[in-house]
Structure 1
Amino acid sequence: MSDHVHASHPAIAKRLRRAGGHLAKVVAMIEGGSPCLDIATQLQAVESAIVQAKRTLIQDHLDHCIEHVVAEVPPERRRPIDEFKAIAKFL
């Protein structure tokens, strides 16, 4: 196993485990004949949890890994990097 762990990784893993539990519940709802609206609502919750986990992981990577690489870039040349980091929050 790699030692490439950030402070946010345990929280991301926890969120994904919870989403996995919700997804299992969705499967059970489908198999049990639950109403489509209820199933769609639960699927939306699972999707939102996964999207937020992905955003957190990407933002953490930008804030730490990329920042580490570009730390030596002179301040006058950092604008594109800083703008990229800012705009990536909208992904």
Structure 2
Amino acid sequence: MTDSADIPHRHASHPKIIARLKRAEGHLSAVTRMIEAGSPCAEVAQQLQAVESAIRNAKRTLIHDHMDHCLDEGTLEEQRAELKKITRYL
């Protein structure tokens, strides 16, 4: 029996999610440099808001994609349990 952790779990949305996260990673690095350079706090906060929004949108897309493609497996009880498990991250 193969452990499900050994099987790649991929959806069509994953490349777009990865691209969003890489952009957010770049923005986060820029925020760090802004703080190190002594940029005004309002500008830093604005950039942090952008990073947070990008990550939140990536997470939402991942969760919605999971709900669309992964909740049709198993019994109704198993589907409910999986839905509860994933929605706690919203």
- Tell me the TM-score normalised to structure 2 length: 0.75
| 2:64 aligns with one of 40, 59, 81 | 59
1:64-79 equivalences under 5 Å are: 64-67=69-72, 69=73
Identity %: 59
Query: What is the distance in 1 between the residues matched to 2:8 and 2:38?
Result: 44
Give the AA of the match of 2:31. Answer: V
Aligned to 1:14: 19
Q: Does 1:28 align with 2:33?
A: yes
The unaligned stretches of length 5 or more in structure 2 are 1-5
For the aligned residue pairs, the C-alpha RMSD in angstroms reads: 2.1
- Runs of 4+ aligned residues of structure 1 deviating over 6 Å after TM superposition are none
Deviation at 1:4, TM superposition (A): 1.0
Aligned to 1:50: 55
